């Protein structure tokens, strides 16, 4: 549940994945996602962002700052999806693996 006890639709992750894939297929200089995916460093740029956001998440959790923890967790999820797209791994494969492990 989100703040205010209203349910959050998990479809937001699927929608985000679709936007990331669209940015990869139809790049725009105005899009942060497109710029990440087209950076001259290649996938290394996205992986650097994963490392940066992971570190910020760890620090927020360690410091007990709930708002920052939430923000950094969202950053990790976003950059994870971008990294998966950069690595040409379909998010459905990750979901299938999670489903397999749950059984």
pLDDT tens per residue, range 41-61: 999 999 999 999 999 999 999
* CA dihedral (9, 55, 51, 95) positive or negative: negative
* CA dihedral (72, 78, 79, 83) positive or negative: positive
Whether 1 is in a domain gets the answer no
pTM of the model: 0.89
Residue 5 pLDDT: 75
- For residue 94, give the nearest of 27, 7, 35, 17 by alpha carbon: 17
Residue 87 pLDDT: 97
Rounded CA-CA distance 36/100 in Å is 31
Whether 2 is in a domain gets the answer no
Residue 4 pLDDT: 64
Question: Which domain does 96 fall in, by range?
Answer: 7-102
Give the count of domains, the chain. 1
Whether 13 is in a domain gets the answer yes
């Amino acid at each position: 549940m989100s703040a205010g006890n209203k349910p959050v639709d998990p479809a937001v992750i699927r929608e985000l994945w679709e936007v990331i894939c669209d940015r990869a297929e139809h790049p725009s200089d105005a899009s942060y996602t497109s710029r990440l995916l087209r950076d001259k460093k290649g996938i290394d740029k996205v992986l650097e962002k994963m490392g940066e956001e992971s570190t910020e998440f760890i620090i927020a959790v360690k410091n007990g700052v709930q708002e920052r923890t939430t923000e950094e967790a969202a950053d990790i999820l976003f950059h994870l999806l971008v990294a998966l797209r950069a690595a040409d791994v379909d998010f459905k494969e990750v979901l299938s693996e999670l489903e397999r492990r749950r059984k």
